[in-house]
Amino acid sequence: MSIAGWRLSTALIVFCLLMTLVAQTTSRGLHAQEQPERKVIKTVAPKYPEEFKNQQLGGVVHLSVVIAPDGSVKGVTPIGGNRALVDAAIEAVKQWEYEPSNETTTGNVQFDFRPE
């Protein structure tokens, strides 16, 4: 893949990540409460596992992300996806930063890994 193609792919991944971020919050099974969406201020794209690139394998990964009041990622829980892709997605999302808020919130992130 050319450098221009790689940059376009990276930009597309970041755009898709930002567009698929949905903020939700729950109160430990007692009830669900909708919170305003937290704006992402820093993203890191996941590294596509080399063994998947060579085999032309892809897939979708769904994560639940707990965001601390200071905007840091407090926790990440996989909801679904291939384990190797989930690990890459978790490592990336742990480095994300969100705008500050008065409380901890939870959001979902989806990654669509596509071999190029």
Distances (CA, A) of 108 to 7, 43, 77, 85: 25, 14, 10, 16
Domain span at residue 100 reads 3-113
What is the CATH number for 56?
3.30.2420.10
Q: How many domains does the chain have?
A: 1
* Predicted local confidence at residue 89, as pLDDT: 94
* Predicted local confidence at residue 110, as pLDDT: 93
Name the residue with higher pLDDT: 16 or 22.
16
Residue 23 scores a pLDDT above 70:
no
Burial 88-99 (b: 16+ CB within 10 A, else e): bbbebbeebebe
- Identify the band that residue 44 occupies on the pLDDT scale cut at 50, 70 and 90: very high
* Predicted local confidence at residue 91, as pLDDT: 95
What percentage of the chain reaches a pLDDT higher than 70? Answer: 68
